[in-house]
Amino acid sequence: MADEEEAELSEKQKKEIAKWFLLKSPPGEIQFVAKDVKAVLNDDVLYEEAASEAFPLYNKSHLISLEMPGRIGDVIVTSYGQLNETEFIDPRTAQVAVVDHIKQVCTEVRPGLDEELPSAYVEEFRCALDAEILKYVDEAYPKGICSVYCGNGKDVEGPGSDFELVVVISAARHSPQNFCNGSWRSIWSIEFKDELQMLELSGKLQVGAHYFEEGNVQLDAKHECKDTTIFQSSEDSAIAIGNIIRQHETEYLSSLEESYSNLPDTTFKDLRRKLPVTRTLFPWQNTLQFSLTRDITKELGIGK
């Protein structure tokens, strides 16, 4: 009877469960999770199927960066630079990186083709913005990586048409030996509206962290924001966009720091037994000194 109630999971169900665990891996820890998932499945074919589907999604959602051969730079694995399943373009070097998603390495590079690169007009704005964002990231994020992509309108040849640039910033700090890993990910979409002479910015910021020394605490915070500025020359537009991104990201980081500094007196206090006004710990080791029945009896004068 018990065997009938505990039916064996199908291979499809096992694969979906394996994918779920892989995709939910904290920043920088999918290889560790994959090792355990593979051991639990005990089926190499099934594991390969799950990994081949989960790793590309994980790599793109976490904006992982990989060093390109020859140390010519780093490529960010993001849908904004994806040409096909394994090829991702690095706009700064105009190189296309071939990526092994499961091993999380760049195996080779090739020059980008003309049709894979933006027009000279769009590239002027992209290059100016890339230089400004690179300067900001070097100041704000240790080991941070950034790139600026053309989201739409890469064939625009001059004024009179709209186009879109996308700023991607990825910063990670992996320290498994100290039981902690974390990442910062931000994506900024900038629409260059020629007719309105306006730039519209839309940002999505995400912070992930995992502390697992004698416990398991995870953080996954997200924030979205919008802003606008005037459509100017490539250099002036880049400076204005850089200032806006710097302002919003600094404010968000400050709000996170303030929230965490107040945790002991807010959230954590609600999770534990509140202290009395005197802030004196309850003497659990000697509870006999307290007796609610005795105190009530004394107060009401019962038993005298």
Asked whether residue 157 is domain-assigned, the answer is yes
Asked whether residue 77 is domain-assigned, the answer is yes
31 in the same domain as 159: no
CA distance 55 to 100: 10
Cβ contact 133:167 at 8 Å = yes
227 in the same domain as 144: yes
- Domains identified in the chain, total number: 3
Please identify which residue in the block is written with the tokens 């004394």. Answer: 298
Asked whether residue 277 is domain-assigned, the answer is no
Cβ contact 71:81 at 8 Å = no
241 in the same domain as 124: yes
CA distance 215 to 211: 7
124 in the same domain as 242: yes
191 in the same domain as 72: no
CA distance 150 to 133: 15
Name the band, by pLDDT with cuts 50, 70 and 90, for residue 217. Answer: confident
Chain centre distance of CA 186: 7
- Measured CA angle at 31 (ends 58, 249), to 5 deg: 45
Asked whether residue 303 is domain-assigned, the answer is no
User: What CATH number corresponds to the domain at position 104?
Assistant: 3.30.1140.60
Mean pLDDT over each residue of the chain, to the nearest integer: 88
188 in the same domain as 101: no
Tokens of 300: 């009401």
Model pLDDT, residue 2:
47
Cβ contact 26:174 at 8 Å = no
111 in the same domain as 216: no
254 in the same domain as 126: yes
Model pLDDT, residue 119:
96
Tokens of 212: 């697992």
For residue 302, pLDDT over 60 is answered with no
Model pLDDT, residue 64:
95
With both helix axes pointing from N to C terminus, report the angle between 11-23 and 30-41 in degrees, rounded to the nearest 10: 160
Name the band, by pLDDT with cuts 50, 70 and 90, for residue 260. Answer: confident
191 in the same domain as 244: yes
Model pLDDT, residue 153:
95
For residue 271, pLDDT over 50 is answered with yes
Asked whether residue 291 is domain-assigned, the answer is no
111 in the same domain as 80: yes
Domain enclosing residue 67, as ranges:
63-116
Asked whether residue 284 is domain-assigned, the answer is no
Percentage of the chain modeled with pLDDT above 90? 72
71, burial (CB in 10 Å: exposed 0-12, middle 13-18, buried 19+):
exposed
Percentage of the chain modeled with pLDDT above 70? 84
Asked whether residue 87 is domain-assigned, the answer is yes
Name the band, by pLDDT with cuts 50, 70 and 90, for residue 1. Answer: very low
CA distance 199 to 230: 6
Beta strands in the chain, from DSSP E residues, in sequence order? 65-67, 74-76, 87-90, 95-100, 105-111, 144-152, 163-175, 180-193, 198-211, 217-230
Cβ contact 76:63 at 8 Å = yes
Asked whether residue 155 is domain-assigned, the answer is yes
Sign of the torsion formed by the C-alpha atoms of 242, 244, 245 and 246? positive
Kindly compute the dihedral angle of the four CA atoms of residues 52, 56, 61, 63, in this order, to the nearest 10 degrees: 140
For residue 249, pLDDT over 80 is answered with yes
74 in the same domain as 46: no
Tokens of 283: 């003497």
Instruction: Work out the average pLDDT over 200-205.
Output: 98
Model pLDDT, residue 137:
96
Q: Could you read off the pLDDT of 95-145 as tens digits, one per residue?
A: 999 999 999 999 999 999 999 999 999 999 999 999 999 999 999 998 899
139 in the same domain as 87: no
Instruction: Work out the average pLDDT over 195-222.
Output: 91
For residue 278, pLDDT over 80 is answered with no
Instruction: Work out the average pLDDT over 270-280.
Output: 57
Model pLDDT, residue 52:
96
